[in-house]
Structure 1
Amino acid sequence: MKKSGILNRDIAAVLARLGHTDTVIIADCGLPIPDHIPCIDLSIRLGKPSFTSVLEALEEDMVIEKMILANEIKIKNSGLHTHLAKQYSKIPLDYVSHEELKECIVDAKVVIRTGEATPYANVILQAGVLF
């Protein structure tokens, strides 16, 4: 058994296979995920686990070069947007429309679905490198 880090075997395996610029999406419980895209569904109840708790765990184990958010988060979920900008201030934030974010799903290695139930609580994490 792993002693630390992400214990979920599916997430740990995806992170181990990531290369530079590969992407992982952390999604709220409402983001539509095409059937052919790998999805690790962590949702157990509305709000559980939260988007922020899953992002925090991934950020501890993954080199994140950039985060991509929907422009709409700035207005429709300003509290989460402020939290992300402050908590992850060393990681560049890029913005696309929510429709563009949904189009990016097809290029992701995996979507990790949370129980989050607040608007636009989705992020594309672009993998960086340790060197």
Structure 2
Amino acid sequence: MRRHGLLHAELNRVIAAMGHTDTLVIADVGLPVPPGVPCIDLALLPGTPSFAAVFEAVYAELAVERLTVASEIHRKNPALVDLSTRIRAEGVGVDEVSHDDLKRLAARAVAVVRTGETSPYANVILHAGVTF
């Protein structure tokens, strides 16, 4: 058993198997999971676990080269705007696409991690980087 960090066995396996440019989606409770893409469903209750908690746990474990978010966050999700600003300041690229394009891009992900988040457009695609 791990002493700290991400404890979810299936999520750890997915992250450990990811290669450079593979993608992982962290999604709110409403994002449709594309056919054929595995879903790691963490949703327990509305808001639990939160997008922020899951994002921070995964971000601490995965080498992230860039993120993709929906451009609609500027109108509907100030918390995700703040997160994007913080990530950019850390030197990680942040791409913005329409929500419809984000849903299409999710079809290429190695998995979708479904949270209990209920705020609008709380979805992000993490693009794996390298550690060297």
- Give the shorter-chain TM-score range: over 0.9
Q: How many residues align?
A: 131
Specify whether residues 83 and 16 from structure 1 end up closer, same or farther in structure 2 by C-alpha distance, changes over 3 A only. Answer: closer
Please state whether the residue corresponding to 1:61 is helix, strand or coil: coil
Identical positions, percent? 45
What is the aligned-residue RMSD (CA, Å)? 1.2
The aligned residue for residue 33 of structure 1 is 33
Question: 1:61-108: per-residue Cα shift (whole Å, max 9, x none)?
Answer: 110000100000111112331233125621211101100000011100
1:99 corresponding residue in structure 2 = 100
Contact 2:84/2:94 (8 A) holds in 1? no
Find the aligned partners of 2:63 and 2:87 in 1 and give their Cα distance: 15
Aligned-partner Cα distance in 2 for 1:10–1:96? 29
| 3-state SS, counterpart of residue 67 of structure 1 | strand
Compare 93-102 and 72-81 and name the one that shifted more.
72-81
Q: Where do 5+ consecutive residues of structure 1 fail to align?
A: none
**TM-score normalised by the chain length of structure 1:** 0.95
What CA deviation, in whole Å up to 9, does each residue of 1:25-73 have, x standing for no partner? 0000000113421000000000000001001001111100001000001
Q: Could you say which residue in structure 1 is the equivalent of 2:21?
A: 21
Residue 87 to residue 106, structure 1, CA distance change in 2 (3 Å): closer
SS at match of 2:21: coil
TM-score between the two structures when normalised by the length of structure 2:
0.94
The 10-residue stretch of structure 1 (110-119 or 71-80) with the greater mean CA deviation from structure 2: 71-80
Moved over 4 A (4+): none
